[in-house]
Structure 1
Amino acid sequence: MHHHMDIFKKVDVIVSPTTGMTAPKIPTSALKYGETDMQVTGYLMRFILAGNLLGLPAVSVPVGYDKQGLPIGLQLIGRPWGEASLLRLASAVEELSAGSKKRPASFYDVLKTN
């Protein structure tokens, strides 16, 4: 925590990828019972550990897609009790990348109920 608080003396937000890779392919053998692949788990969790373990507010914002069309997220980590600023920044980042959003094949807009 001391290391992160030193960083927050110089910056307002720490920015990183949300995960160290996009979603991995699920092998057919894992469909029935699942699987444990610690290397993949490590890549997926490498950037989210600090916020979770230190209790820092963090948010992931969708910012685009990789070559296979899989989503890419940008993680924003804020100071303790800095949720309001973090959410305002996340909203601005999401607005800037809104043009690149794709809608899933199966989609229901809960805000547009008639």
Structure 2
Amino acid sequence: MTAPLIRTRALEVGETNLKVTGSLMRFILAGNLIGLPAISVPVGYDKQGLPIGLQIIGRPWGEATILRLAAACEALRSETKKPASYFDVLKGH
């Protein structure tokens, strides 16, 4: 599922779309409940320019493995444009 559009009105008052929220969270619940390491990697953009992410969930204590896999996935990306709202946590800006 690609990122859902956020309507302008929702920015002012907020909104909850339980169907979309459920779809976005369906694969993270088990990992969170039993403590599996996970990471989300940007893999591109859909036709509307919205970001697409790949979620990788590893076995217990498998952080090193999923970090290596995430780095390999990012290295394969040919398109590296930054979203309109971007903050580099490593550079602090």
The interval holding the TM-score normalised by the smaller chain is 0.7 to 0.9
Q: Give the whole-Å Cα distance in 2 for the aligned partners of 1:85 and 1:37.
A: 34
Q: Give the whole-Å Cα distance in 2 for the aligned partners of 1:63 and 1:106.
A: 17
Q: Which residue of 1 aligns with 2:62?
A: 82
Q: Which residue of 1 aligns with 2:32?
A: 52
Which structure carries more relative contact order (alpha carbon 8 Å, separation 6+)? 1
Please say if 1:104 is aligned against 2:83: yes
CA displacement 1:22-71 (0-9 Å, x = unmatched): 22222333222211111111111112222112210011111111111111
Q: CA deviation at 1:103?
A: 2.0
What 5-or-longer segments of structure 1 have no aligned partner?
1-20
Q: Give the whole-Å Cα distance in 1 for the aligned partners of 2:10 and 2:36.
A: 34
Moved more, 65-74 or 101-110: 101-110
Q: Which amino acid aligns with 1:75?
A: Q
Give the count of matched residue pairs: 92
What 5-or-longer segments of structure 2 have no aligned partner?
none
Q: Secondary structure at the match of 1:36?
A: coil
Percent of matched pairs sharing the same residue: 70
Give TM-score, length-normalised by structure 2: 0.81
Please say if 1:65 is aligned against 2:45: yes
Give TM-score, length-normalised by structure 1: 0.68
Runs ≥4 residues deviating over 6 A:
none
